[in-house]
Amino acid sequence: MKRRITLLSVTLLTLIVLLLPLLAACDPSGGDATTPSGGDTLVIYNWEDYIDGGDREMGRAPILDDFAAYYQSKTGRTLHITYTTFDTNETMLTKVLKGDAPVDLICPSEYAIEKLLTAGLLQNQKQLYDSLKPQLDEYGIKLDGMSSLGSDGNIEPDVMSVIKSQFGEVKSGDQTLDMTEYMVPYMWGTLGILYNKNVISQEDLDTYGWGVLWNEQQSDVLENKILMKDSVRDTYAAALFYMYEYDLLPDKYADIASAQDIINITDDDMLEAAEAILTEQREHISGYEVDFGKDDMLNEVVYADFAWSGDALWAIEESYDEETDDYYLGYYCPTGVNEKTGKQRFSNIWYDGWVIPTTVKNSLAAMMFIDYMCRPQSAIRNSIEIGYTCAVAKNLLSSDAAVRAYIEEQEYDIDEYFDDIGRYPEINESLGVMRDFGARNDALVNMWQRAKAGSAVNLSLLIIIAVIVGVVLLALAAYFIAQALKLRPRKLG
């Protein structure tokens, strides 16, 4: 028996040794940027549902396949793309900061890019371009669409202006870095309210603004039919905007005059005020979500959802009702003046962008991919597929014949598409950009966990738990008594 085990062990060890090289070759995160067959690899880490997946039935390949074909046409080498996704910036940051995600490309939001930059985990794309210049010239490749190489490229100038103003001087140790050299914007949008038109009127929105998410109108139909984002930063921003609009901020912030002034305050006084507001909100909402809010709104499970603009626009298109020839969902970004309080309203404007981490194995493919995403035809495909607003300049898109043809092919009116303020809002002081909260992030997360848990425990739930525990204890007591009786010595007659 012992000899059989020994032989089996030797056999298994031999197989493992033989298979290890093959297993390592199959790991896209290890080794170099080539596959055993001689092709190249590219590892991308992006948000879920955030790129054009194509339509096989309509004969349209996924955009990743199109890029692989383009890469091969330029370099003569095949390209295998490994595409993985994350649901929140925090999930992505946890993996990347721990070194658990050795990838070539990531698409985080602006504050997460700032965090990665200060941690020294991103490549300077301008410097990377200089090192790749001989190779790019050899293949006849130009990267004119990228904004990280010294100009705006194909990116909307207003978008670049905001990013430059907020992240043009990022402190990293003793260095001051310009984040625009480390990222290229991909999509952008706002935070607002996705609402059911049959329950919430335009008058409600104009009157109550952010208060709709706290059911300030005291609607019996809306009560407990509201969803918030299970995202600490976004929900905290909503609380700040709501407190400002309803004069609930701590007194020392009475002079705030713009969204940018308020959106990044995280001191103890503000966190305490926000916690009280978010805890109170729990009495009026259905719960928190990241992905299922759109479906619940479409199925009319809930009637209001704190939403990112792109998700909202996608849901609105899906809400078309043939009987009424209208959409029963709408999107509202609270800016302008609250007609009830006379207060200015603020919201968040955000930007997601492509960055190249220091773990990059195929820097050439990474740079080519970013530039490919900046092409008008690629940008409009991604934008229409996912519902978000691409960062490629609006006038560049609207004047491109292929883009206009694609928009009409997707059954959009071209003028309505570009005039939609939900898709292309005016960028002004009503919209603020979130920064990395640094050392205050843990305090914010702790506040958020307490607010989500609520300030009180449901009494009915406690009674139910007590009854269940009592029944279990009685059952256990009966069992042990029965066992003791069985083991008791019998008296002999």
Listed by start position, the domains of the chain span: 32-182+359-416, 188-346+445-453
Question: How far is the CA of 149 from the CAs of 106, 129, 152, 154, 390, in angstroms?
Answer: 18, 7, 8, 11, 19
Asked if the domains 32-182+359-416 and 188-346+445-453 are classified in one and the same CATH topology, the answer is: yes
The C-alpha angle 289, 294, 296, rounded to 5 degrees, equals 80
Say what the pLDDT of residue 257 is. Answer: 87
Low-confidence ranges of the chain (pLDDT < 50): 1-31, 455-462, 490-493
pLDDT of residue 37: 54
CATH topology of domain 32-182+359-416: D-Maltodextrin-Binding Protein; domain 2 (3.40.190)
Instruction: Summarize pLDDT for 286-333 with one digit per residue, the tens.
Output: 999 988 999 999 999 999 999 999 999 999 999 999 999 999 999 999
Put simply, whether the predicted model's pTM sits higher than 0.95 gets the answer: no
Contact 383, 389 (CB under 8 A): yes
Short-list 53, 31, 51, CA closest to 41: 31
Domain 188-346+445-453 has CATH 3.40.630.40: no
Helix, coil or strand: residue 224: coil
Condensed to tens digits (0 to 9), the pLDDT of residues 121-149 reads 999 999 999 999 999 999 999 999 999 99
Half-sphere exposure of 219 (CA within 13 A, CB side): 22
pLDDT at 465: 63
Secondary structure element (H or E) that encloses residue 466, with its range = helix 459-487
pLDDT at 303: 98
d(CA 8, CA 149): 59
Give residue 293's pLDDT: 94
